[in-house]
Amino acid sequence: MKTQVVIIGAGPSGLLLGQLLHNAGIDNIILERATPDYVLGRIRAGVLEEGIVSMVREAGVAERMDREGLPHGGVQIAFNGEIRRVDFHKHANGKQVVVYGQTEITADLMEARQACGAPIHYKVEKVQIHDPDSDNPLVTYEKDGQQHRIACDYIAGCDGFHGVSRKTIPESLRTEYEKVYPVGWLGFLADTPPIDEELIYGVSDKGFFLCSMRSHTRSRYYVDVSLDEKVEDWSDDRFWEELSSRLPESVRGKLVTGPSLEKSIAPLRSYICEPMQYGRLFLVGDAAHIVPPTGAKGLNLASGDVNYLYRILLKVYKENRPEAIAQYSALCLRRIWHAERFSWWMTNMLHDFGDKFDRKLMDSELDFYTGTDAGLSVIAEQYVGLPYEEVV
C-alpha cells in the first residue's frame, strides 16, 4: 500500500486530522489497535474550546455538536464555602466553551469517516515505524495474522502515551518532563440532572470536587482520592455522601443522586516530550503531552496539534513547501507549555497536598484571582483557550 499520510491512532485527534486531510484531497490511512467499541468506551472530558469547535465545523462534522452541545459563558469556583463566577463574556472578550462529550465527538468523526469511505483499519497489531528521518518512511503492521506495509510521505503519531510513535524517536534526541501529583480523581457518571448550568470547580476542608455534565440529563462528578484507593471500594452511596460533604451549602440541596453509569480513578500528572517531530514523524496529543484534567485542556491541546499539522500539510501539498514541516514542534510546544502551566496552577490552587503553608497561599491565590478583574481575566482567557498561531 501507499498513501500520503499514515495516521496511527483512531481517537478524536487522529480521526479529526484524517477527516480534515480527506476533505482537502490529501490521502491518508488510519491504523488503530483497538476495536471501534473499545475506542467509544473511553470516558473522557467534554469541555471544548472555540479552537476545536471551529475545527470540527471545518471538518464538516459539527451538526450534532451544534445541536446538542451546551454553550457555557462562564465557570464557577468554590472555596471557603462560597462560589465565585468567572464570566467569559466579560473577561474573555465574549468567548465561550461548549460542553459536548469527547465520546460524542469520536462517534461523529467515526461516522463521517465511514460515510466518506476513507480507509481505516481497526484491530491492527505490531505497528512499527521505519525510517521516519528519511524521504521514504514506512509503516508496517499485522492484521488477522498477515503482515502489511504502507509507504508514505508523513506519519502522524496519534497513538497516545503508550503507543509506538514517541518511542520511535531515539532516546538521545528526546527530552521528557514529568510531574506526578499525589492524588487521583474519582470520576462518577450518572443519568441525573446537573447540579448547576455551569461547571463548579471547588476545594473544601475535605478536598477537591468538580461538578460537571454531559447534557441536561447526564452529570459527571469528581472528587480527589489518595492513589492507593480502589474504585471497587466506592459504592454509589459512599460517593454521593462524600461529594455532598464537600459541596457549599448553597448548592448542596440541588444535588440529585442516582445509580452510576461509570466509575473510575484517574491519576494526575503533567508530561511533555520535546521535540514533537522526528524527520517526517509528528507526535500529536497524548503521544507528546499529558495534563491534569483541572482546566479541561487534554483534548483541546491535542486539537491544537491537529490544527498545526493540518495547516502545515496544506502548505506541503497545496503550495509545494516541504520546508514548512520544520515549524511544527515549536508552534505546538509554545501553546502546550502555556496550557501545562495553567493546568498545574489550577491543580495546585484546588487541591490540598498536605502543606499547610502552601494551602494558605493557594487560598490567597483563589481570593485574588476570583476577586479582581485582572485575576478573572487571567483565568477566563486561559480557560477558553489561547488562540492558534498562524502557520507561515
Asked, as a colleague might, if the bond just before 275 is cis with ω within 30 of 0, I would say yes
Q: Find the angle CA(361)-CA(367)-CA(373) to the nearest 5 degrees.
A: 130
CA pair distance 60, 70, nearest whole angstrom = 19
Instruction: Tell me how far CA of residue 147 lies from CA of 29, 180, 209, in angstroms.
Output: 16, 38, 48
Residue 216 class from Cβ within 10 Å (0-12 exposed, 13-18 middle, 19+ buried)?
exposed
Model pLDDT, residue 40: 87
Model pLDDT, residue 201: 97
Over the chain (392 residues), the average pLDDT of each successive run of 10 is: 97 97 98 93 82 96 96 96 96 95 94 97 97 97 96 98 97 97 96 97 96 93 96 97 97 97 94 98 97 92 97 98 97 97 96 94 96 97 95 95
Half-sphere exposure at residue 29, Cβ-oriented, CA atoms within 13 angstroms: 20
The residues annotated with a catalytic role in the active site are 72, 201, 293, 297, 383
Model pLDDT, residue 43: 65
The answer to whether the pTM exceeds 0.75 is: yes
- Could you tell me the residue ranges of all domains in the chain? 5-73+95-178+269-354
Q: Specify the CATH superfamily of domain 5-73+95-178+269-354.
A: FAD/NAD(P)-binding domain (3.50.50.60)
Model pLDDT, residue 144: 92
Question: Residue 198: CB partners within 8 Å, gap ≥ 6?
Answer: 72, 74, 75, 76, 85
